[in-house]
């Protein structure tokens, strides 16, 4: 699938939809709206993110051979084809912290395997220590049932491939039928996947108290997935819930684990880790050292250096695409430029993710750095076309681990149809804007405009407020789409 062509179709369809019910009689207003559409106010340029590659670590079989985990753990967590899972370095670091029985947070990007950083230590510990005890040993709290269902399905697949598991797991949400929840209450699993609402019920409903009570459970792990979603008042509720659960469990050695996307983007690496540790400490109510915040360790996919001057970069643009093999692609200088522009950069000698930019901005940088002529009117942009072709090729080529050499995401945001605002002035001089605000730069009040669906005549949408000395016209927000009022009827 050509994702760039798909983006053009989606934006084109949305634009036609918006324009289909916008009829404007005033030529100046119509020209202003058309100009805003051409600028992409409602459909800004797509942001392109190149997924970075992670530094590899040992396989689970290698960890088992070294005595870090049990062979049974390595047999349970396997690739779909039955081969051993190779951890990323950040996953290995998290497993090592868990072995020291210290609280930790994994703060890495999408697709970095965060779930294995707690599932492997939990499974291995339960398998080592009285797996015959049928009680809840670990509670994993997710913010959404969709994440619970996805994780449960993955665990079922591991178990099916391994031919069963002595470590039992179950999901416990409002989606399960009463008889399913009753079966879980009668025969608790070792690992319980739930959300914070159901966890609240477990603490207050008598039928579920034995999941967490110190007398009937042996709770040793508490995992909070997606820490970054818990903020404000909701975050305070979750923080209090964590403290109540720890008190109910009565285990001073309860191991707290959190996962999160990047929670801070500013400052040095150490400052970002301290910020993540502070959030986790506040949520869990136990100290999470900043050195136990595990971030991602990246590596370069492209081995060739990026072109060092304009002529070399221009030659790379004008050269044909590399062959469809990982070796050929990784030696392409333009691919190296793309990786550095959209994917990675260096911070204090360490590779980190580059802040996302739009695809159009990347094409502009390529054109300027290669000192290529500007696109002629009505002609396709050579830099944009070459970037699209190179990204598509990199997404088709698979590395040794079966992943695309260049996995990327194209983020297209679509804004809802906005409101046009204008000042109460003659039509040829009134100020027009799509940005919601009270005053125009000239200090005059802005009022929303609505248009007749039949003839396109504009109307100011106002309220008449009676005052002691004089009446005033006040801006009134337009109603949502049914209305005869918006139609000018």
* CA pair distance 464, 72, nearest whole angstrom: 76
Contact of 107 with 138, CB cutoff 8 Å: no
Specify the pTM.
Answer: 0.81
For residues 32 and 12, membership in a common domain is answered with: yes
Going residue by residue through the chain, which has 489 residues, state the pLDDT in tens, using 9 for 90 and above. Answer: 789 999 999 999 998 888 887 789 999 999 999 998 888 888 999 999 998 899 999 999 999 999 999 999 999 999 988 999 999 999 999 999 999 999 999 999 878 899 999 999 999 999 999 999 889 999 999 999 999 999 999 999 999 999 999 999 999 999 999 999 999 999 999 999 999 999 999 999 998 988 999 877 789 999 999 998 888 999 999 999 999 999 999 999 999 999 987 655 677 889 999 999 999 999 999 999 999 999 999 999 999 999 999 999 999 999 999 999 999 999 999 999 999 999 999 998 899 999 999 999 999 999 999 999 877 666 678 999 999 999 999 999 998 878 899 999 999 998 877 789 999 999 999 999 988 888 999 999 999 999 998 899 999 999 988 877 788 888 887 654 333 444 333
Q: What is the pLDDT of residue 402?
A: 80
For residues 121 and 211, membership in a common domain is answered with: yes
For residues 140 and 198, membership in a common domain is answered with: yes
For residues 400 and 428, membership in a common domain is answered with: no
Half-sphere exposure of 356 (CA within 13 A, CB side): 14
For residues 178 and 288, membership in a common domain is answered with: yes
Q: Whole domain around residue 322: which residue ranges?
A: 300-411
DSSP secondary structure of 166-203 = SS-EEEESTTS-HHHHHHHHHS--SEEEEEHHHHHHHH
pLDDT tens digits, one per residue of 274-286 = 999 999 999 999 9
Q: 341: which DSSP letter?
A: I
Report the DSSP pairing between strands 56-59 and 86-88. Answer: antiparallel
Q: How many separate domains does the chain show? A: 3
For residues 213 and 74, membership in a common domain is answered with: yes
* CA pair distance 246, 256, nearest whole angstrom: 10
Q: What is the pLDDT of residue 486?
A: 41
Specify the CATH number for the domain of residue 237: 3.40.50.300
Q: Decide which of 411, 437, 456 is a domain's last residue.
A: 411
Output the CA angle 384-385-386, nearest 5 degrees: 95
Per the DSSP assignment, residues forming a β-bridge with 475 are 462
For residues 284 and 171, membership in a common domain is answered with: yes
For residues 355 and 233, membership in a common domain is answered with: no
Q: Decide which of 384, 411, 438 is a domain's last residue.
A: 411
For residues 334 and 421, membership in a common domain is answered with: no
For residues 276 and 370, membership in a common domain is answered with: no
For residues 430 and 406, membership in a common domain is answered with: no
For residues 107 and 151, membership in a common domain is answered with: yes
Q: Decide which of 270, 298, 326 is a domain's last residue.
A: 298
Structure token digits, residue 312: 């070399």
């Amino acid at each position: 699938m050509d994702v760039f062509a798909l983006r053009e179709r989606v934006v084109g369809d949305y634009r036609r939809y918006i324009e289909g019910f916008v009829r404007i009689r005033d030529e100046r207003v119509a020209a202003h709206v058309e100009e805003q559409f051409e600028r992409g106010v409602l459909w800004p340029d797509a942001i392109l993110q190149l997924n970075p590659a992670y530094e590899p670590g040992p396989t689970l079989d290698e960890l088992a051979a070294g005595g870090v985990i049990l062979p049974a753990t390595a047999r349970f967590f396997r690739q779909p084809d039955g081969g051993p899972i190779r951890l990323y370095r950040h996953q290995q670091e998290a497993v090592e912290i868990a072995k020291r029985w210290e609280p930790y947070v994994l703060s890495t990007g999408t697709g970095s395997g965060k779930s294995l950083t707690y599932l492997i230590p939990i499974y291995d510990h339960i398998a080592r220590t009285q797996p015959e005890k049928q009680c809840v040993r670990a509670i994993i709290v997710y913010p959404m049932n969709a994440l619970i269902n996805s994780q449960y399905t993955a665990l079922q697949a591991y178990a099916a491939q391994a031919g069963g598991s002595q470590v039992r797991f179950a999901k416990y949400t409002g989606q399960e039928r009463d008889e399913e929840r009753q079966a879980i209450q009668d025969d608790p699993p070792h690992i319980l996947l739930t959300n914070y609402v159901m966890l609240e019920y477990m603490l207050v409903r008598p039928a579920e108290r034995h999941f967490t009570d110190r007398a009937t459970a042996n709770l040793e792990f508490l995992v909070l997935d997606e820490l970054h979603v818990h903020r404000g008042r909701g975050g305070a509720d979750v923080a209090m819930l964590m403290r109540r659960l720890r008190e109910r469990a009565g285990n001073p050695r309860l191991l707290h684990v959190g996962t999160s996307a990047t929670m801070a983007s500013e400052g040095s690496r150490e400052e970002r880790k301290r910020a993540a540790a502070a959030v986790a400490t506040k949520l869990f109510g136990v100290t999470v050292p900043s050195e136990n915040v595990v971030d991602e360790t990246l590596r370069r996919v492209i081995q060739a250096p990026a072109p060092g001057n304009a002529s070399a970069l221009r030659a790379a643009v004008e050269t044909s695409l590399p062959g469809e093999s990982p070796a050929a692609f990784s030696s392409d200088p333009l691919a190296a430029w793309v990786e550095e522009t959209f994917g990675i950069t260096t911070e204090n000698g360490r590779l980190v993710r580059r802040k996302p930019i739009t695809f159009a901005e990347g094409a502009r940088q390529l054109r300027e750095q290669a000192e290529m002529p500007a696109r002629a009117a009505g002609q396709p942009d050579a830099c944009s076309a070459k970037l699209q072709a190179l990204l598509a090729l990199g997404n088709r080529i698979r590395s040794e681990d079966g992943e695309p050499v260049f996995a990327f995401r194209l983020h297209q945001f679509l804004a809802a149809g906005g409101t046009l605002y204008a000042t109460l002035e003659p039509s040829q001089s009134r100020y027009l804007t799509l940005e919601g605000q009270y005053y125009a730069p000239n200090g005059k009040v802005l009022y929303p405009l609505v248009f007749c669906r039949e003839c396109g005549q504009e109307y100011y949408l106002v309220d008449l407020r009676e005052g002691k000395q004089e009446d005033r016209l006040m801006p009134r927000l337009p109603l949502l789409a049914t209305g005869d009022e918006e139609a000018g009827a």
